[in-house]
């Protein structure tokens, strides 16, 4: 059955044994159904990281000989109790140099189909966190009040919240 209704073409395939009613907008084009939300693509993620890095002052990159890398894999924390603790970013320093790594797959595992703004906000927060580690390392700050101490408090809060759960992580 076909009919005209207010400049829209309606085709009811159920009349001929089909299973859908289709409304075509003026111009006789079928609109694509709304796409399911998707995680931010790896390309868009890399571009967002570059944009955030461009906002940092040049001195932040001093002595960062390994640069900033984006790995496409997720990285589950070895401390995870219920396979729910992902490493979003990592600052490393060793005899080969200093480097920041972001794990795209971890962002996808944590944020899923969130809007782009949520990804960008988390990228910014993670990069600034890792660069704070870099700046504190350069300044020799490892003790009281350092980000390392703050990270340890967050890990302890994680373990307390999951006390009694069994998983890959260590027992507390």
Architecture of domain 42-161: 2-Layer Sandwich (3.30)
Instruction: Write out the residue limits of the CATH 3.30.2010.20 domain(s) in the chain.
Output: 42-161
Is residue 12 scored above 90 in pLDDT?
no
Q: What is the pTM of this model?
A: 0.73
Is residue 14 scored above 70 in pLDDT?
no
| pLDDT for residue 165 | 56
Is residue 86 scored above 90 in pLDDT?
yes
Is residue 16 scored above 70 in pLDDT?
no
Mean pLDDT across 116-126: 97
Query: For every residue of the chain, which 3-state class applies, written as one string?
Result: CEEEECCEEEEEHHHHCCCCEEEEECCCECCCCCCCCCCCCHHHHHHHHHHHHHCCCHHHHCCCCCCEEEECCCCECCCCCCCCCECCEEEEEECCEEEEEEEHHHHHHHHCCCCHHHHHHHHHHHHHHHHHHHHHHHHCCCCCCCHHHHHHHHHHHHHHHCCCCCCCCCCC
Higher pLDDT, 32 or 171: 32
Higher pLDDT, 144 or 129: 129
Q: What are 90-108's pLDDT values in tens digits?
A: 999 988 899 999 999 999 9
Higher pLDDT, 163 or 1: 163
| pLDDT for residue 51 | 98
């Amino acid at each position: 059955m076909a009919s005209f209704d207010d400049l829209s073409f309606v085709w009811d395939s159920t009349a001929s044994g089909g299973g859908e009613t289709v409304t075509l907008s003026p111009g006789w084009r079928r609109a694509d159904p709304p796409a399911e939300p998707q995680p931010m693509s790896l390309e868009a993620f890399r571009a967002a990281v570059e944009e955030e890095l461009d906002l940092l002052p040049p001195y932040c990159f001093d002595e960062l000989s390994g640069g900033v890398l984006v790995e496409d894999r997720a990285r589950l924390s070895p401390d995870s109790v219920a396979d729910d603790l992902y490493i979003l970013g990592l600052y490393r320093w060793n005899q080969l140099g200093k480097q920041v790594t972001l794990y795209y797959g971890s962002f996808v595992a944590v944020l899923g189909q969130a809007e782009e703004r949520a990804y960008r906000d988390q990228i910014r927060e993670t990069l600034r966190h890792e660069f704070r580690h870099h700046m504190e390392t350069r300044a020799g700050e490892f003790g009281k009040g350092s980000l390392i101490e703050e990270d340890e408090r967050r890990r302890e809060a994680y373990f307390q919240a999951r006390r009694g759960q069994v998983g890959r992580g260590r027992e507390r």
